[in-house]
Chains A and B, each alone.
Chain A
Amino acid sequence: MSLYERLGGEPAFQAAVDGFYRLMLTDARVSHFFDSVDMDGQIAKQKAFLTYVTGGPAEYTGKDMRSAHEHLLSKGLADEHVDVVIEHLGATLVGLGAKPDDVAEVASLANSVRNDILGR
């Protein structure tokens, strides 16, 4: 059973994605990347991301990751910002009842797309 299913699947993630996005919008280290974006579109993308990194049903390719973040590179998107995302991802999953082992596993999966996010 995937972590996604163990944590309650779609209904649990629907609620958790709001909390995840709120953490990002209120964190001064990353909030400026979200200034002018369409909130609904962002939330749908964040939900697909959370679903993907917990082994749930979501399609997320390296190409998607690259094109979704390309325009942020010129705004200074760098490793330290990916770290912040992984930090909030962990907090969100703990809030859903994930164990430390699970969080570490998700962090390593998220890290595996780091180069795509940063266009390397």
Chain B
Amino acid sequence: MSQSLDPAQAATLVFGDQRIDLLEGESVLEGLERAGVDAPAGCRAGTCCKCMQQADNPPPESQRQLRPTLRAQGFFLACQAYPKEPLYMASTEPPAPISARVVSVESLSSDVRRLRLRPAQQFTYRPGQYLDVLHSSAAVRSYSIASLPSDGLLELHVRRIEGGLVSGYLHELEVGADVSIRGAFGQCFHVADDPDKPLLLVGAGTGLAPLLGIARDALDQGHRGAIRLVHGGLQPDRLYLRDELAQLAETWPQLSIHPCVLRDAGASERQGALDQVAVQVAGSTLGETRAFLCGDSDLVRILQRSLFLAGMSSAEILADPFDAALSP
């Protein structure tokens, strides 16, 4: 596409096979509006973030106000963007469903099952993001990805919900079956912008799935700062994958695992509310820490608030709450 562009008209917005040439001194927002595109806009001064757009190569100065995860995905403020070269705008189409084959299934606890899937086509994601499973009834449910792209297989941890349509289906699937998935989505993933920043990963139940992906991804990308993973559950037998986590922490001294339960704590668990334990675990580093919060949406909101009130910067709190799906 780029070779067909006239160099004198270098400041161009490229949408697939369409383009909008920008006039001298015009922002991306002004260009979109002049071309008749119904683009959202607000303050036009880089404050309100309403005019956010996504592209492959946004000018860095138009991303300054955004969270690191949004920057990493190419989001930028159209009112602050004055590109000097062709700007390849992201497609607004949702990702198409693809097929994935169940390669292994394994029980991790009384109600959590691990599935490993091999996608039939290229599936791009960042560890900690989630995918949608499309059920034959047209129901769509989201599941977090615990694996790294370099693993080759997609790893999911699915908790069986009583009477649950899609979790029940995923618990019944056998090796060799095909599942329809699409993705990836979500804002809760590691961005390697500061290898020394302390990271605090907190989740309950299958909130561990994205946290495991995020922790392994950070280690894989050479993170040196402390990575503190707090996994919560009602009682000790609700915590799963404990040996695997302990082994990972043995291999990587910067990683520590903090199991936490509400009742019946043994010698290896802390007992207490997950948000209070998370604040304690972060300790004096809380002010510089980046937090990743995953799991049930009510819990994530409590965690968000408690960490914020304890002094964590709102911009450093990343979360993808597991909201219960709206039917279907």
Contact = CB atoms under 8 A, between A and B. Distances in A.
B181 interface: no
A87 interface: no
Contacts of B47: 10, 47-48, 51, 56-58
Interface stretch (A20-28, A72-80, A92-100, A110-118): A20-28
Contacts of A40: 314
B5 interface: no
Interface residues of A, number: 20
Given A25-B305, A26-B309, A58-B43, A43 B314 contact: yes
A18 B308 contact: yes
Main secondary structure of the interface of A (DSSP, over half): helix
A59 interface: yes
| Chain B: interface size category | 10 to 19
A14 interface: yes
A40 to B, nearest CB: 7
A39 interface: yes
A57 B305 contact: no
Interface string B19-52: 0000000000000000000000011111111000
7 contacts: A10-B47, A17-B314, A25-B308, A39-B304, A44-B48, A48-B43, A51-B47
Given A39-B305, A58-B45, 6 more contacts: A10-B46, A14-B315, A51-B47, A56-B45, A56-B47, A57-B46
